C-alpha cells in the first residue's frame, strides 16, 4: 500500500531518536511530514535529513537561525516558536509520535489528538496533567491512542483485546532505579550524578530522575488509570530489577498474562508504529535460560515517598495529579540544577500539594485549558517554595 505519513514530536530526544531509528529502518513504509524539538537545531536538522522530512520545527525561536543554516539547500521547510510546533502537530498525518518531555508538550499532543488518526503516546506528563479531559478529547476526535511507555504497551499487549471488565488487576513493574538497595538517609543526599545512573534503561534526564525517585512509577499508575479505565484499587506496582517483564494482567479466572521484552524502547515504539501489524526491530531478544532468574519485591513507600505521593494523588483525584506533576517537574529541574537535594524532590511535591489544597486548587480540570491553567498555578506555588540559593558544593 501507500506509505503512511508520520510526524515526530520531540524527535531529538531519547524516545524521538529511537523512533527515528525505526523509521529509517523501515523507510519504504513511511513518509515523514514533520519533526519537532525544542532547541537542538543541529540534532533536529540531522534527523530531518536522515528521514527526508518535509518540515522541521523548533519551539525555541532563538534556535531558528541555526536550524536554517543546518538545513540550507535541503528543501526541508523550517519554522520556530511554540505555536509553530502546535501547527506542525495539527497537520493531518496517519501517525504521530508524542515524545516531548513534560506537560509543556500537552498542547502539541492535543493538537495531534484532535486531528484524529493514531497518536503514539510517550509523553506521560500530559496525561497525568490533563487526565480525564485528555481522554475525552481522544474519544471526541476518534483518535487511536497507542501507549509507548513500556509498561503500558506491555499491558495493552497482555490484555489481548479483552475488556477491562475481565481484569482483576494490572501490575506495572519498576526496575527500582539506582537507589533500590540504598538506605533512606543516603538516598536523600544523593546527587544528580548518582540519580542519572539508571541500571537498565537509557533515557532522557527528567524521566531518569523520576525513575530514581519512583515518581515515574507513580506517574505511570495514573497514566494506566486513564489509558485503560481500570479503577485505582486494581493497579499494582512490583519491583523487578531485571526489567524483562514490563506489565502483567491478572484476569478474573486467575489466569495471568505478561508482556516481556528486553529493556529497549524500540520494542514498544515498533508495536505502536506497526499497529495493528508488527515491524522487525534489532532489539536484543529475551533469552530466559541466559537470564537464569527474575526477581520481584514490594516497592518501599517509606524510602520512596514520591511513589506514595503519586498513589495518594490518584486516590484523592480532582486536581491533585496535575499539581503533583507540575511540582515534580519544578523539583526535578531544581535538583538537576543542584538547588535542592534528592530528598527535597518529594518534600517539594508534598508541600506544593498541601499549598494547592490550602488555596482550594482541588477541582478536576474539566478541559485541557483548565489543566494548563492549573499546571501553571502549581508551578508558581512550587517555585515559590524553592530555596533562593544553590546547595553548597560537595
Annotated binding site: 12-15, 123-125, 149-151, 175, 198, 204, 211, 216-217, 220
Cα angle for residues 108, 277, 118 (degrees, 5° grid): 20
| CB closer to ligand NDP out of 127 and 188 | 127
Q: Which one of residues 16, 117, 177, 259 is an interface residue with ligand NDP (CB under 6 A)?
A: 16
Among 5-13, 86-94, 285-293, 326-334, which window interacts with ligand NDP (CB under 6 A)? 5-13
Closest among 280, 291, 272, 332 to 103, alpha carbons compared:
332
Q: Quick one: which H or E segment has residue 66?
A: helix 64-70
| CB closer to ligand NDP out of 66 and 301 | 66
Count of residues interacting with ligand NDP (CB under 6 A): 29
Residues 6+ apart with CB under 8 A from 300: none
The nearest distance, CB 203 to ligand NDP, in angstroms, is 3
Among 96-104, 166-174, 274-282, 324-332, which window interacts with ligand NDP (CB under 6 A)? 96-104
The item of ligand NDP, Mg ion, none sharing an interface with residue 204, based on CB under 5 to 8 Å by kind, is: ligand NDP
The nearest distance, CB 152 to ligand NDP, in angstroms, is 9
Among 75-83, 151-159, 185-193, 334-342, which window interacts with Mg ion (CB under 5 A)? 151-159
Burial class (CB within 10 angstroms; exposed 0-12, middle 13-18, buried 19+) of 72: exposed
The DSSP annotation for 147-201 comes to E-SHHHHHHHHHHTT--GGGEEEEEEEE---TTTT--HHHHHT--HHHHT--SS-
- Cell 486467575 appears where? 254
Q: Which one of residues 52, 116, 204, 317 is an interface residue with ligand NDP (CB under 6 A)?
A: 204
The item of Mg ion, ligand NDP, none sharing an interface with residue 224, based on CB under 5 to 8 Å by kind, is: none
The nearest distance, CB 374 to ligand NDP, in angstroms, is 18
Cα angle for residues 119, 122, 126 (degrees, 5° grid): 90
- The helix/strand/coil state of 366 is coil
The nearest distance, CB 303 to ligand NDP, in angstroms, is 22
Among 13-21, 310-318, 347-355, 381-389, which window interacts with ligand NDP (CB under 6 A)? 13-21
Q: Is residue 11 a contact residue for ligand NDP (CB under 6 A)?
A: yes
Q: Is residue 56 a contact residue for ligand NDP (CB under 6 A)?
A: no
| Torsion angle of the four alpha carbons 342, 348, 349, 350, in this order, in degrees rounded to the nearest 10 | 110
In whole angstroms, give the CA distance from residue 385 to residue 383. Answer: 5
Closest among 279, 269, 293, 331 to 118, alpha carbons compared:
269
Residues 6+ apart with CB under 8 A from 97: 6, 7, 8, 9, 10, 11, 15, 16, 19, 120, 122, 148, 269, 272, 273
Q: Which one of residues 149, 223, 355, 375 is an interface residue with Mg ion (CB under 5 A)?
A: 149
Q: Which one of residues 123, 157, 328, 352 is an interface residue with ligand NDP (CB under 6 A)?
A: 123
The nearest distance, CB 150 to Mg ion, in angstroms, is 5
Cβ distance 174 to 240 under 8 Å?
Answer: yes
Torsions phi, psi for 246 (to 5 deg): -105, -30
Q: Is residue 39 a contact residue for ligand NDP (CB under 6 A)?
A: yes
Q: Is residue 59 a contact residue for ligand NDP (CB under 6 A)?
A: yes
| CB closer to ligand NDP out of 362 and 383 | 383
In whole angstroms, give the CA distance from residue 151 to residue 341. Answer: 28
Binding residues vs ligand NDP (CB under 6 A): 10-16, 36-40, 59, 85, 99-101, 104, 122-125, 149, 201, 203-204, 206-207, 265
Binding residues vs Mg ion (CB under 5 A): 149-151
Amino acid at each position: 500500500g501507500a506509505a503512511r505519513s508520520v510526524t515526530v514530536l520531540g524527535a531529538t530526544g531519547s524516545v524521538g531518536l529511537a523512533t527515528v531509528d525505526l523509521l529509517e529502518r523501515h523507510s519504504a513504509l513511511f513518509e515523514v511530514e514533520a519533526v519537532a524539538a525544542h532547541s537542538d537545531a543541529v540534532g533536529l536538522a540531522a534527523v530531518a535529513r536522515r528521514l527526508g522530512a518535509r518540515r522541521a520545527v523548533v519551539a525555541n525561536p532563538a534556535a531558528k537561525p541555526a536550524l536554517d543554516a543546518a538545513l540550507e539547500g535541503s528543501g526541508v521547510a523550517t519554522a520556530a516558536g511554540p505555536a509553530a510546533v502546535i501547527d506542525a502537530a495539527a497537520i493531518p498525518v496517519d501517525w504521530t509520535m508524542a515524545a516531548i518531555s513534560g506537560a509543556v508538550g500537552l498542547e502539541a499532543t492535543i493538537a495531534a489528538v484532535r486531528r484524529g488518526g493514531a497518536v503514539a503516546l510517550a509523553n506521560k506528563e500530559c496525561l497525568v496533567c490533563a487526565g480525564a479531559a485528555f481522554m475525552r478529547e481522544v474519544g471526541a476526535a476518534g483518535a487511536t491512542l497507542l501507549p509507548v511507555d513500556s509498561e503500558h504497551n506491555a499491558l495493552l499487549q497482555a490484555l489481548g483485546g479483552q475488556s477491562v471488565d475481565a481484569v482483576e488487576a494490572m501490575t506495572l513493574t519498576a526496575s527500582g532505579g539506582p537507589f533500590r538497595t540504598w538506605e533512606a538517609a543516603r538516598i536523600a543526599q544523593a546527587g544528580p550524578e548518582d540519580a542519572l545512573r539508571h541500571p537498565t534503561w537509557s533515557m532522557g534526564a527528567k524521566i531518569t530522575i523520576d525513575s530514581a525517585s519512583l515518581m515515574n512509577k507513580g506517574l505511570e499508575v495514573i497514566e494506566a488509570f486513564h489509558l485503560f479505565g481500570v479503577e485505582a484499587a486494581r493497579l499494582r506496582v512490583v519491583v523487578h530489577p531485571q526489567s524483562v517483564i514490563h506489565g502483567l494482567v491478572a484476569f478474573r479466572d486467575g489466569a495471568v498474562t505478561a508482556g516481556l521484552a528486553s529493556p529497549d524502547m524500540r520494542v514498544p515504539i515498533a508495536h505502536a508504529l506497526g499497529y495493528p501489524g508488527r515491524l522487525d526491530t534489532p532489539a536484543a531478544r529475551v533469552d530466559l535460560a541466559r537470564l537464569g532468574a527474575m526477581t520481584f519485591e514490594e516497592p518501599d513507600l517509606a524510602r520512596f515517598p514520591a511513589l506514595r505521593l503519586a498513589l495518594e494523588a490518584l486516590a484523592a483525584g480532582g486536581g491533585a495529579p496535575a499539581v503533583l506533576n507540575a511540582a515534580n517537574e519544578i523539583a526535578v529541574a531544581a535538583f538537576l540544577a543542584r538547588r535542592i537535594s534528592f530528598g527535597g524532590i518529594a518534600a517539594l511535591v508534598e508541600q506544593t500539594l498541601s499549598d494547592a489544597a490550602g488555596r482550594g486548587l482541588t477541582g478536576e480540570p474539566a478541559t485541557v485549558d483548565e489543566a494548563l491553567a492549573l499546571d501553571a498555578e502549581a508551578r508558581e506555588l512550587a517555585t515559590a517554595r524553592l530555596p533562593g540559593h544553590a546547595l553548597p558544593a560537595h
